Structure 1
Amino acid sequence: MTIQTLREIQAVQGAKLEESTSIPLSFGNDTEAIAATQTGVALCDRSHWGLLQISDEDRLRFLHNQSTNNIQSLQPGQGCDSVFVSSTARTIDLTTLYVTEDGVLVLVSPNRRQMLIDWLDRYIFPMDRVELKDISAQNVIFSLLGPESDQLLEKLGITPLTDKPYASHKQVEIDNIPVRIAVGSGLVTPGYTLIVSVDRAVSLWKTLIEAGVIPMGNRVWEQLRIKEGRPVPDFELTDDYNPLEAGLWKTISFEKGCYIGQETIARLNTYKGVKQRLWGLKLNAPVAVGTEIKVEDQKVGKLTSLIETEEGFFGLGYIRSKAGGKGLKVKVAEVEAEVVEVPFLTHPAE
């Protein structure tokens, strides 16, 4: 079976497909799906995300030298988030790495797949024993989101990875379907990431729906990622910002050796050079993304994302540290807004 077959089944289940990605935008059940992420379990199709496979003997050393986290210490069955940055520490992508017995799987943002492949390929030298492969077309990514995710796995005969660290993973069979299951939904919301071959994706989707999960469209994913504060390329992750400003401190090892962009990041950390940071914003009305954020007619930042929720309008934006933080009242164009914390992001204590 193909992705097209999966789309046809999802359409029967009420899916409205996005034109650009062909993934479900909504199943016409957004309120129910949000509730499932809070009290039950929802299922989100992330098949438009990229999946790279890095193999051969130097794979861990190579990735260790290309990204911000301590990759070389990871054992098979472990994983982590890591950021790929330019030589000037501008963010290319926030990725999740899963170390297997014979390779490393790298889950990348939808619009960064080719860019990252080209970027990594530039740094593979003739003596490096590294093989880089894009396996996105051969695999599908699903996310389970919600507090009942462990109970769902138990219902399907799978021992959940309860109490295992983030990005821990294992190969299992769900209804005789080989699936790699990893701790973490991709958001702060508890859950799991599932990697399945494209020819078994339809069977897995059906099995999960029949087990009682609520299908969830990308519109709800986008709402959750903004409310939780996950930064994404082209919005929060651009050439204008580094991963420290973006609140991705958990993805950075300050103890590891040299990697691309390391000198700039170390200098920013050592000399308290982070002059702005990413925050959540509660707004009274909608405003165009890219609008300046002001305090008393003084520009202090920029709005990077916006979504309408049942509670009102919520956005993300960078704000200069000197202007203030949580609780700060600002104006975005003529719209009043309040600065709030978001759980995905971390920063050191001031």
Structure 2
Amino acid sequence: MTASIINHQDREAIHAVTKGVVVCDRSHWGRIRIGDDDRLRFLHNQSTNDFQSLKPGEGCDTVMVTSTARTIDLATGYVLDDAVLLLVSPHRREFLMQWLDRYIFFADKVTLTDVTDETATLSIIGSASDAIIEKLGAGALIGKPQGSNIFINQTIFAVGSGLTNPGYTLIFPVTEKPKLWQQILNYGAVELSDRAWETLRILQGRPVPDAELTDDYNPLEVGLWQTVSFDKGCYIGQETIARLNTYKGVKQYLWGIRLNSPAEPGTVITIQEEKIGKLTSYTETPDGHFGLGYIRSKAGGVGLKVQVGISEGEVVSLPFVSHEYP
């Protein structure tokens, strides 16, 4: 996946993420509401994280995987009083609605509702996001763990920006969007475009479907250890993930690659003409060229010098993922 060339406005917004505060419209992401009595048990059995230990007002990131533990999507679940709201990647909601529906059996008390079109999502991101969340009346969330959420005036306020930067995510009726968007801008936030979000997510290593999350990779190769519970019992793909962990069987890892020129996703990564991996995403950044790619674990990690097509690169660590259990 390639992010477009960034302009002056994007540079300013990317800078504001670390020095101030931005607001990003994530309404094109999917939102699935999972209701009825068995909702937590159902999600617990369909994804990598431990939902049954969560209470209303809590939440977590989780990975949807196939029966052989191949990655489908990285989602965030917010546990509400009467439902779980799942925030899923753009272009993934229809697939996930059908995929989840396949696993609802006759006796299960579970309902799935796609609420994407009637809701909107904004993320407030940056070191100054606390001040805005306080002005919006959700100051009780400040200092709470990732995924913590409260419901005020038809709006879910949740801790977490979707990136590694501090921030909050708001989900609310789509009719309220113009008013809330303007309010947040009036409080001093700078608009972060989709293009700038894409640059940040590549720099941080947040994986996305069809690039880093595909049928070729499992969550441990991606480095999403924080989303995997190793002691919650059976779920789809659990046996494969447990075996990989027990026998240290992870054969490739996702890394950042600092590049000296542009490179095309899908390009083979080599060392002295030996294939060691593949580039999955590329972006131009305010500081040069940057990509994400999977590299065979035996080849090495941070500091490794690689060739990506005609571009030379150096392997660097990524803040969003890790290659050991936290």
Bin the TM-score by the shorter chain: over 0.9
Which position in structure 1 is the counterpart of 2:235? 259
Matched, 1:114 2:94: yes
Write the distance in 2 (CA, Å) between the matches of 1:71 and 1:349: 19
Question: What corresponds to 1:13 in structure 2?
Answer: none
Q: Given the alignment of the two structures, is residue 58 of structure 1 paired with residue 38 of structure 2, yes or no? A: yes
In the alignment, what sits opposite 2:124? 144
Determine which of 201, 221, 230 is the counterpart of 2:177.
Answer: 201
Q: Give the letter for the 1:292 counterpart.
A: V
Aligned to 2:71: 91
Deviates more, 1:25-34 or 1:316-325: 25-34
1:74 to 47, 54, 58: 54
What SS does structure 2 have at the residue aligned with 1:245?
Answer: helix
TM value normalised by structure 2? 0.96
Structure 2 counterpart of 1:131: 111
Aligned to 2:195: 219
- 1:159 aligned residue (133, 139, 163): 139
Return the offset for 1:160.
4.5
Q: What is the aligned counterpart of 2:279 among 285, 288, 303?
A: 303
CA contact (8 A) 1:26 1:218 kept: no
Report SS of the residue matched to 2:93: helix
Q: Deviation digits for residues 198-245 of structure 1, max 9, x if unmatched?
A: 111111111111112111100110000000000000000000100100
Q: For the Cα contact (< 8 Å) 1:66–1:259, is it kept in 2?
A: yes
Distance 1:40 1:133 in 2: 36
Identity of aligned residues (%): 59
1:47 corresponds, among 27, 33, 39, to 27
1:104 corresponds to 2:84: yes
Deviation at 1:154, TM superposition (A): 2.3
Structure 2: unaligned runs, 5 residues or longer: none
What is aligned with 1:20? none
Taking structure 1 as reference, are residues 27 and 217 closer, same or farther at Cα in structure 2, changes over 3 Å only?
A: farther
Distance 2:177 2:38 in 1: 31
CA distance in 2, matches of 1:279, 1:28: 27
Partner secondary structure for residue 141 of structure 2: coil
Q: Is the deviation greater in 158-167 or in 54-63?
A: 158-167
Query: 1:349/1:150 Cα in 2 relative to 1: closer, same or farther (>3 Å)?
Result: closer
CA contact (8 A) 1:67 1:85 kept: yes
What whole-Å deviation, never above 9, does each CA across 1:36-78 have from its counterpart, x for those lacking one? 1111110000010000000000111111000000010100000
Q: Given the superposition, is the C-alpha separation of residues 26 and 289 from structure 1 closer, same or farther in structure 2, using an over 3 Å criterion?
A: closer
Given the alignment, which residue of 312, 320, 325 partners 1:344? 320
Secondary structure in structure 2 of the residue aligned to 1:60: helix
Report what 1:335 is aligned to. Answer: 311
Is the 8 Å Cα contact of residues 138 and 150 (structure 2) preserved in structure 1?
A: no
**Structure 1 residue 196, shift from structure 2 partner:** 1.1
Q: What is the count of residue pairs matched by the alignment? A: 322
Matched, 1:182 2:158: yes
2:242 aligned partner, one-letter code: A
Q: 2:267 aligns with which of 288, 291, 295?
A: 291
Q: 1:287, 1:332 within 8 Å by CA — same for their partners in 2?
A: yes
Deviation at 1:28, TM superposition (A): 6.5
Structure 1, gaps ≥5 residues long? 1-24
Structure 2 residue 250 is matched with structure 1 residue 278: no
Distance 2:305 2:80 in 1: 47
Using CA pairs under 8 Å that are at least 6 residues apart, name the structure with larger relative contact order, 1 or 2.
2
Question: What is the RMSD of the two structures over their aligned residues, measured on CA atoms?
Answer: 1.5
**Shift in alpha-carbon separation, 1:211–1:349, aligned structure 2, 3 A:** closer
TM-score (norm. length: structure 1): 0.90
Aligned mates of 1:91, 1:260 — CA distance in 2: 11
Question: Contact conserved, 1:45 with 1:143, CA < 8 A, in 2?
Answer: yes
1:247-298 residue CA offsets vs partner (Å, 9 max, x unmatched): 0011000001110000111111111110000000000000111000001110
Q: CA deviation at 1:153?
A: 2.0
**TM superposition shift of 1:126:** 0.7
